[in-house]
Each structure stands twice: as structure tokens, then as C-alpha cells.
Structure 1
């Protein structure tokens, strides 16, 4: 097979990280959960991939105001789920322990106005810098809020 030309590794096209990131839209990856040991109810979990391709595990909650007061340090995604079960991020916020960083009723109203019916809560980011980086990873898909901006609206 002398007619086949072998390409060197340097001649083959390579995709850069930026190209791959642009091709990957932010999307949800549903996780299968089962009932816990000894009959405890299953946690409703899901995962989202950010623009970077990083995977964020979230707990799914109803969009309810009483839960905002007990949120703690977390990244919260307001999600609109359609009849086919496909989730779409409406807005993203970073919540912290200080009163200035707590989610406000204004954020909740904005999420509801956008059609959100679920809160997806990512609690594994330990620092404010980590939470800000996650919010930035979802930045292109939704109206992104920080608690400082939201408090100014209230």
C-alpha cells in the first residue's frame, strides 16, 4: 500500500480547548438514584456541565422561598423544566452565609418570572472564589446574579 500517505502527528488537525468548550453547550445530565439504605428516601440529584466541561452535582429542590433562608454556602441554579423533562437554566446565583450574600426574594421573583420551577443547589464549592468561578462557568446561558447585585435591586 505504497499509495497511502502517512501523516505526521504535527500535521493532523488538533482542536484547542477553546474549540471544545465552544462546542459543548451547558447541559444537564440526569443522575439515577435509588432509595438509600433501610428505606430512606432517595436524594434527587442531577449534574450540570458548564461551558468549561466541568461537572457540577446538584440537589434538586422545589422553587420555594422558605428554603432560601437555610441555603448556606451554595451555587443556586433556577431551572425551568419543560413537559419533555428537559431542564434549562433561567438564572444563576452564588449564596453565602453573610446577610449580604443571602438569596433574596427579588432573585426568587426573577427566577419565577423566567419560568423556573426548580432550584438546583450545588453545595460543594467551599469558598466564595470557587462559587464565583462556577457562576462564571454558567454565565453564557442565563442571567447571572451575585448576591451583592441582587441586594442592590431589593
Structure 2
């Protein structure tokens, strides 16, 4: 499955702020961050597992929302892993997000179906640069 980009949809979130990370308070004291949460432009909260960008385990999940996160805690890319976790496509995506400056991959597994994953992607993916 190709990386998904949904900026051709109506501008539902034009006035809303960008998605932002809202770390889980219950894990704040832990030395290793294994979980975090993101607040989408809609205000909805998405819990995610945290992986280093080069950790191939992050790409092994099916039917998940994958977020490429930069060191300044921004989502720089997002995609649906797909129902089969197509290794070659996910490997290309991983290499491209590393080149773009991602330091982590956050994996949201709680979207129950394709429609839920699409809604999460719309809510969390970075704004398209209209000038670029």
C-alpha cells in the first residue's frame, strides 16, 4: 500500500492547530519513553508506542498508523502500515523519513478499522506546504 496523503479532502482543519505531542503523565518518571500520546488537530488523543527510527520492529505492525517524528517533536510524515505490512514499501518509507530528519517512529495501534486509521491520519499528518 502506498503512503497515504489526504490533503485533497475538504479543509476540515484549516483553522485548527497542528498535531502536538502530549506525553503520558503516567510514564513521565520512566527513564525510557516507550509510550506517548498525540493530540490531533481535532482535539482527539492518540496513544502510540515509541520506536527509534532505525528499529525495524516499528514496521512489523499491520493495520497501524505510523508517525515519523523529528527531534523537535513534530510529525514530519504519517502513513497507514496496511493490512499486510509490505516490507519493501515500508523499508523505502523508513529510509525516506530518516533522510528527512525523523528520529523516532510512533505506532498507533488502537484504530479499529481502515476508516479509523484514515481519520487518524487526517488528524495527525503534517500540514502540506502550499508554497513548496
Is TM more than 0.5 here? yes
For 1:42 and 1:99, the matched residues in 2 are separated by: 26
For 2:69 and 2:77, the matched residues in 1 are separated by: 7
Show the counterpart of 1:73: 63
**2:75–2:125: 8 Å Cα contact kept in structure 1?**
no
What stretches of structure 2 of length at least 5 have no aligned partner? 1-10
What stretches of structure 1 of length at least 5 have no aligned partner? 1-17, 35-40, 144-154
Q: Name which structure has the greater RCO, CA cutoff 8 Å, separation 6+.
A: 2
Show the counterpart of 2:24: 31
What pairs with 1:4-153 in structure 2 (closer than 5 Å)? 22-34=15-27, 44-64=34-54, 66-82=56-72, 87-98=73-84, 104-141=90-127
**1:47–1:55: 8 Å Cα contact kept in structure 2?**
yes
**1:58–1:122: 8 Å Cα contact kept in structure 2?**
yes
Deviant stretches of 4+, over 6 Å: none
Size of the alignment, in residue pairs?
117
Structure with the bigger percentage of helix: 1
SS in structure 1 of the partner of residue 22 of structure 2: strand
Cα distance change, pair 42–33 in 1 and its aligned pair in 2 (3 A): farther
1:103 offset after TM fit, Å? Answer: 5.0
For 1:99 and 1:139, the matched residues in 2 are separated by: 19
Name the stretch that deviates more: 95-104 or 111-120. Answer: 95-104
Cα distance change, pair 42–80 in 1 and its aligned pair in 2 (3 A): closer
Show the counterpart of 2:4: none
